[in-house]
Amino acid sequence: MTSRKTSSESPRPPAPAPQLGPALLAPRFFFSANSPGAPPTESSAGIPSVHLRSVRKHPSLFRKLVGDVDRTARAGDLVRLVSPQGETLGYGYYNPMAEIAVRVWSWGPQPPGPESVEQRLDRALALRRDLLRLDAQTTAQRLIHAESDGFPGLVVDRYDDVLSAETFSLAMYQRVDDVLDRLEARLGTKHRVVQAPAKTHGQEGFTAPARLSDGCPTSVIVEEFGTKFRVDFEAGHKTGFFCDQRDNRRQLAHYTKGRTVLDLCCYTGGFALQAAVLGEAASVTAVDLDEGALATARANAKLNRANIRFVQDDAFQHMRNLISEGKTYEVVILDPPKLIRNRAELETGERKHLDLNRLALQIVAPGGLLLTCTCSGLLGEPEFLRLLQTAARQAGTGRTIQILQRTGAAADHPVLGDVPETEYLHAAWLRVLE
């Protein structure tokens, strides 16, 4: 994890400030034609400056790169980024309380105007509607995927008539309603959910409870390739549902017809449901420790009249019990929650992934399939594949794997070409041989 210490070279290093109260959460310098304090689009007059110690063309500029800061700059402000030579490099959002001190909005000398928001929204919707044609496949999709769609620190998913937004930066929390207003005008959606997860509160220096618009339902039913899922905005993780596994869930169904299936860490039953409904599996067992998630999973099975056996249990213990009983399945899905949240957890998280996969490989019937996933972005694909090879060696004499395919998140979660860390989900499809 990046150090919080700043270099003594700076005469005025940014320092943590007190947590913001509601009165200070209103944005300044938001480029909307009707926003108070909006800068003129033809000049940078009035926009505070942040001087950088070195140039790094990346959407996240950490505190150690920041030198002098105009005293007028407040947390969440749009600021002008200045090179050590005095050149205007671009514009971004400043937060002295965060390790990511600046989230870059645009590069170049020209300050962004309201058209930049409009253009980015139009571009994001064109991907989902025109290229991917997601409206014909699902009523649950990601509309804005943070930096990859040009909105650093913001994700927005659509669930039927509800826009569900998760903010990871103070600046985006300040501006999220403006963005959602523009989306609603384009899409005709009726409700919104806005939240900043607990980790954002600590990292960005503000607290804000989740909020639903007036009359917003606490849950909705969405469809994915004809299969129905209930999305619970109060009890669900993230924005309420995991759209990123959509294509992997459909692909899994190609392997499950007439086969026995085990879905470990099933959450609300996404893989299990598609194995039963689309995949016509002979039997499906779904395991999770979270009682609330299993309640939703059972409700989802009932919605689809799917015959699924649900088990509340720890995945580690459940697999150990299966191994002691000599029980195997023809298809096993292992999709654990995020096990590595920061670099300090990297070693422990890798060890957990190794142990999970070592156990999972022992309960796949010879010739069967293991779909194993990680959503820990700090665990890169090469490291994940090496980990799986080690797990296969440790699983038992003669147990080998064939890597059939490697996939990631659905295409409405695009990876930014020059920011490879925006690729966070890795899925490996393994044929397990005895």
Read off the pLDDT of residues 132-162 as tens digits, 9 standing for 90 and up.
Answer: 999 999 999 999 999 999 999 999 999 999 9
**Cβ contact 214:128 at 8 Å:** no
What's 198's DSSP letter?
H
Among candidates 179, 168, 186, which has minimal Cα distance to 31? 179
Among the candidates 51, 81, 112, a domain finishes at 112
Residue 229 lies in a domain: no
- Give the C-alpha distances (Å, rounded to integers) separating 162 from 142, 145, 149, 188, 303: 12, 17, 20, 10, 20
138 and 178 share a domain?
yes
350 and 320 share a domain?
yes
28 and 131 share a domain?
no
395 and 343 share a domain?
yes
Residue 16 lies in a domain: no
Query: Domain limits at 101?
Result: 22-112
Q: Which residue has the higher pLDDT, 197 or 410?
A: 410
- Domain of 153, CATH number, reads 3.30.750.80
- Domain of 272, CATH number, reads 3.40.50.150
Among the candidates 77, 112, 147, a domain finishes at 112
- How much is the average pLDDT of 221-225? 97
Residue 29 lies in a domain: yes
Predicted local distance difference test score (pLDDT) of residue 44 = 60
Does 236 score more than 70 pLDDT? no
Among 21-35, 200-214, 225-239, 347-361, the range scoring the smallest mean pLDDT is 21-35
User: Is residue 165 very low, low, confident or very high in pLDDT (cuts 50, 70, 90)?
Assistant: very high
148 and 32 share a domain?
no
Does 203 score more than 70 pLDDT? yes
- How much is the average pLDDT of 159-185? 95
Q: Which residue has the higher pLDDT, 151 or 39?
A: 151
Predicted local distance difference test score (pLDDT) of residue 377 = 85
% of the chain at pLDDT higher than 90: 77
Among candidates 12, 16, 37, which has minimal Cα distance to 26? 37
392 and 327 share a domain?
yes
184 and 255 share a domain?
no
Say what the pTM is: 0.88
Residue 30: count other Cβ atoms within 10 Å of its Cβ: 21
Residue 8 lies in a domain: no
The whole-angstrom separation of Cα 406 and Cα 367 is 18
What's the structural domain count of the chain? 3
Predicted local distance difference test score (pLDDT) of residue 25 = 55
122 and 148 share a domain?
yes
Does 200 score more than 60 pLDDT? yes
Among candidates 13, 15, 49, 12, which has minimal Cα distance to 29? 49
The whole-angstrom separation of Cα 245 and Cα 266 is 12
What's 128's DSSP letter?
I
Residue 108: count other Cβ atoms within 10 Å of its Cβ: 10
Among the candidates 112, 140, 171, a domain finishes at 112
Grouping H, G, I as helix, E, B as strand and the rest as coil, residue 363 is coil
Mean pLDDT taken over the chain: 89
Residue 6 lies in a domain: no
Q: Which residue has the higher pLDDT, 397 or 146?
A: 146
Q: Which residue has the higher pLDDT, 236 or 327?
A: 327
User: Is residue 29 very low, low, confident or very high in pLDDT (cuts 50, 70, 90)?
Assistant: low
352 and 407 share a domain?
yes
Residue 311: count other Cβ atoms within 10 Å of its Cβ: 14
Does 7 score more than 80 pLDDT? no
Among 14-23, 302-311, 386-395, the range scoring the smallest mean pLDDT is 14-23
Predicted local distance difference test score (pLDDT) of residue 194 = 95
Predicted local distance difference test score (pLDDT) of residue 8 = 32
- Domain of 46, CATH number, reads 2.30.130.10
- How much is the average pLDDT of 221-250? 90
Residue 298 lies in a domain: yes
Sign (positive/negative) of CA torsion 372, 295, 272, 424?
Answer: negative
Among 19-23, 150-154, 277-281, the range scoring the smallest mean pLDDT is 19-23
102 and 155 share a domain?
no
303 and 404 share a domain?
yes
Amino acid identity for residue 355 in this structure: D
Among candidates 424, 309, 426, 432, which has minimal Cα distance to 360? 432
- How much is the average pLDDT of 1-30? 41
- How much is the average pLDDT of 382-395? 94
Residue 17 lies in a domain: no
Among 6-10, 279-283, 326-330, 399-403, the range scoring the smallest mean pLDDT is 6-10
66 and 178 share a domain?
no
Residue 275 lies in a domain: yes
- How much is the average pLDDT of 366-377? 94
